[in-house]
Amino acid sequence: MLVVGNWKMNGDLARNEVLLADVCMGLPSDVDVAVCVPFPYLAQVAERSGEGALQLGAQDVSQFAEGAYTGEVSAAMLRDFRVRYAIVGHSERRALFGETDRVVAVKAKAALSAGLMPIVCIGETLEEREAGVVESVLARQLDAVLAEITPVEWGGVVLAYEPVWAIGTGRTATPEQVQEVLGFVRAWLRQKGVNATAVKILYGGSVKPESAVNLFGLPDCDGGLIGGASLDARSFLGICEAGLVASRLKLD
Ligand code: PGA
């Protein structure tokens, strides 16, 4: 199980300190937990997490390796701060910053090449769901990634299914809706010659401690990408605990 917090553009040094202290104190073992934080706070989290179990992630990464790209942060720079994960293609970046399927895929490749694990976000909008085109939208987003990343390299990729209509809305997708999509994604991977069981697939979108066990317990769900609830230590730890419960249930 992998539980990843996405702080988005929230926090300051003092608030982070409190949140990190509380989170680090309560982390369950046997669940991989990471937080993806704004770039300026990577060093703070790196220091705080020390030898501890909390892993470090960024919320974006440049598609370029080095050079005259003002404002960009490369995957190698992130590696310098012991960053392990980089979210790419979050729906907010796709919608607000014009990131295309191809840009997202090239960013995922850049992350992989530098030794980071990209967390590639995919998901449909409400209009797309209502139009019945969920699978074709996801296939299009995944095909773009497949054009950059070989089936063997997919072992280093994490996928996050985040229906856009469920992000930050309090409207969690039902376990049935989530499993239907995750099952489709797993089958798509298999069909493309990827070792599908080696790829972690997360669900994201208004996950709360109360909904987490049912979601994480789904056959094809390997954890969650958590936005709002990751800013509150109790909620985030509750969700991490749900990851532990779900993984034990799956082992039984
Ligand atoms: P949310 O955000 O949990 O606040 O819905 C999830 C995300 O955007 O990754």
Show pLDDT as tens, one digit a residue, over the chain (252 residues). 999 999 999 999 999 999 999 999 999 988 999 999 999 999 999 998 765 689 999 999 999 999 999 999 999 999 999 999 999 999 999 999 999 999 999 999 999 999 999 999 999 999 999 999 999 999 999 999 999 999 999 999 999 999 999 998 988 899 999 999 999 999 999 999 999 999 999 999 999 999 999 999 999 999 999 999 999 999 999 999 999 999 999 888
* DSSP H or E segment with residue 119: strand 117-122
Which atom in ligand 1 lies closest to the alpha carbon of residue 167? 5
**Closest CA to ligand 1's atom 7:** 227
Task: Choose one of 2, 3, 6, 215 to mutate for the ligand 1 pocket test, by most ligand atoms within 8 angstroms of C-beta.
Answer: 6
Tell the residue nearest (CA) to atom 3 of ligand 1: 227
Instruction: Specify the length of the chain in residues.
Output: 252
Output the CA torsion 91→202→119→206 (10° steps).
40
- Residue 33 token pair: 């937990």
pLDDT of residue 51: 59
Q: Closest ligand 1 atom to the C-alpha of 91? A: 8
Instruction: Report pLDDT for 170.
Output: 87
* Ligand 1 centroid to residue 67 C-alpha, Å: 32
pLDDT at residue 102, as a whole number? 98
Write down the pLDDT at residue 214: 96
CA nearest ligand 1 atom 6, residue = 227
Closest C-alpha among 82, 36, 37, 33 to residue 53: 33
Rounded to the nearest whole angstrom, what is the distance from the C-alpha of residue 232 to the centroid of ligand 1?
Answer: 13
Name the residue with the closest Cα to ligand 1, atom 1: 227
Say how many Å lie between the first and final Cα of the chain, rounded: 15
Residue 148: exposed, middle, or buried by beta-carbon count in 10 A (0-12, 13-18, 19+)?
Answer: middle
Which atom of ligand 1 lies closest to the CA of 160? Answer: 9
**pLDDT for position 29:** 86
DSSP, collapsed to helix, strand or coil, labels residue 195 as coil
Q: Residue 169 CA: which ligand 1 atom is closest?
A: 5
* Whole-number pLDDT of residue 125: 96
In the chain, which residue ranges form alpha helices assigned H by DSSP? 13-26, 42-49, 75-80, 91-96, 101-113, 126-130, 134-146, 175-191, 209-216, 233-251
In three-state secondary structure terms, 145 is helix
- Please, are residues 173 and 205 in contact by the beta-carbon 8 Å criterion? yes
Contact between 136 and 143 under an 8 Å Cβ cutoff? The reply is no
pTM value is 0.97
Helices (H), 114-223: 126-130, 134-146, 175-191, 209-216
Distance in angstroms (rounded) separating the CA atoms of residues 110 and 164 = 25
Q: Would you name the residues annotated as active-site residues?
A: 90, 162
For ligand 1, the distance from its centroid to the CA atom of residue 193, given in whole angstroms, is 30
- Ligand 1 pocket residues where CB is under 6 Å: 6, 162, 167-168, 204-207, 225-229
Q: Please tell me the predicted confidence (pLDDT) of residue 50.
A: 63
Count CB-CB contacts under 10 A for residue 118: 26
